[in-house]
Amino acid sequence: MTDVIDGNAVADDIRSSLEDCIATFEDAGVTPGLATVLVGDDPASETYVSMKQRDCEEVGINGVHVELPADASQDDLNSTIDELNDDPEVHGYLVQDPTPDQIDYREVIRRIDPAKDVDGFHPENVGRLVAGDARFKPCTPHGVQKLLASANVDTEGKDITIVGRSRIVGKPLANLLLQKADDGNATVTVCHSRTQDLAEKTRNADVVVAAVGAPELVDGSMIGEGAVVIDVGVNRVDADTEKGYELVGDVEFESAKEQASAITPVPGGVGPMTRAMLLYNTVKAASEQEG
Ligand code: GUN
């Protein structure tokens, strides 16, 4: 029987332990604060940000939401960032990506106070992660690590193939899984659009992580028998539903499940974990700033 890993259940456990932590803060008169900044009105980003705010409310984090119009300038956004950097009640914040074309997202990331960079995107935090001294692990890679641990997957010495080399998922996850500590110690292969014979790289892996943003790219024929499959993809594809679309992962679930010993679904796998780890980083930021 294939284990379908329940990301909602693991995320619930993490949220419960954070609630205990947050109660301790409350006793000391401190409420951890998370701000989200959204520039423009991208519908998917609006959904993500409102879910992050709802999560804050549920666990007792003070959620602050800042919205800038789609034609906001870099200076406008820089001013918002400076205010958040100076606000002692905001322990962590993020600027939702993507931003409109007139915004240089790299400049945005560099301007965020690294101590409040709960996404873990600032160059200082990326450097610390690569050096094996992460301050904030980026939320999705950290969530994937927690999911593997929850399914009792021992990654030590295993072959892990990551499909996708993004700044947000593929690269930081490869670094984390490579490191000695924290469920790492794996042999990691990172594949991308120019990889020759992708199927050979995935078929020979003990763990396949698909994080490429291509609907159902990885199917059962590309999965070795008994492998663990983690699907990071969230793709909107046209469908005859009320909303006119449905969400599918980067993995063709049914055929991959036939082969896998454990697999994450979409939705309900990695997505809830990403959100839980954002709350985790916010509580970590608060404890470092208030400590
Ligand atoms: N857009 C998609 N994922 C993310 C994320 O993890 N952080 C931010 N800031 N924007 C995103």
Tens-of-pLDDT digits for all 291 residues of the chain? Answer: 899 999 999 999 999 999 999 999 999 999 999 999 999 999 999 999 999 999 999 999 999 999 999 999 999 999 999 999 999 999 999 999 999 999 999 999 999 999 999 999 999 999 999 999 999 999 999 999 999 999 999 999 999 999 999 999 999 999 999 999 766 999 999 999 999 999 999 999 999 999 999 999 999 999 999 999 999 999 999 999 999 999 999 999 999 999 999 999 999 999 999 999 999 999 999 999 997
- Write the CB contacts of 16 (distance below 8 Å, at least 6 apart in sequence): none
- Give the distance (Å) from ligand 1 centre to CA of residue 196: 29
- Give the distance (Å) from ligand 1 centre to CA of residue 198: 26
Annotated catalytic residue 52: yes
Measured by CA distance, the residue closest to atom 3 of ligand 1 is 97
- Write the CB contacts of 45 (distance below 8 Å, at least 6 apart in sequence): 38, 96, 98
Ligand 1 neighbourhood includes 119 CB (under 6 angstroms): yes
Ligand 1 neighbourhood includes 36 CB (under 6 angstroms): no
Q: Taking the mean position of all CA atoms in its chain, how far away is CA 60?
A: 21
User: Any idea what the Cα angle at residue 237 is, between residues 36 and 1, rounded to 5°?
Assistant: 95
Q: From the CB of residue 71, how many other CB atoms can be counted at a distance below 10 Å? A: 10
Residue 30 known to bind ligand: no
Say which amino acid occupies 13: D
Ligand 1 neighbourhood includes 139 CB (under 6 angstroms): yes
Mutate to test the pocket of ligand 1, among 81, 97, 116 (most ligand atoms within 8 A of CB): 97
Residue 164 known to bind ligand: yes
CA distance 259 to 201: 16
105 phi, psi to nearest 5 deg: -65, -30
User: Any idea what the Cα angle at residue 32 is, between residues 290 and 282, rounded to 5°?
Assistant: 95
Q: Measured from the CA of 138, which atom of ligand 1 is nearest?
A: 6
CA distance 157 to 114: 33
Domains and CATH numbers, the chain: 29-116 (3.40.50.10860), 139-271 (3.40.50.720)
Ligand 1 neighbourhood includes 94 CB (under 6 angstroms): yes
Whether cis (ω within 30° of 0) applies to the bond prior to 43 is no
**Max CA pair span of the chain:** 57
What local confidence, expressed as pLDDT, does residue 291 receive? Answer: 77
Q: Measured from the CA of 119, which atom of ligand 1 is nearest?
A: 7
Q: Taking the mean position of all CA atoms in its chain, how far away is CA 138?
A: 6
Mutate to test the pocket of ligand 1, among 38, 119, 274 (most ligand atoms within 8 A of CB): 119
CA distance 183 to 143: 12
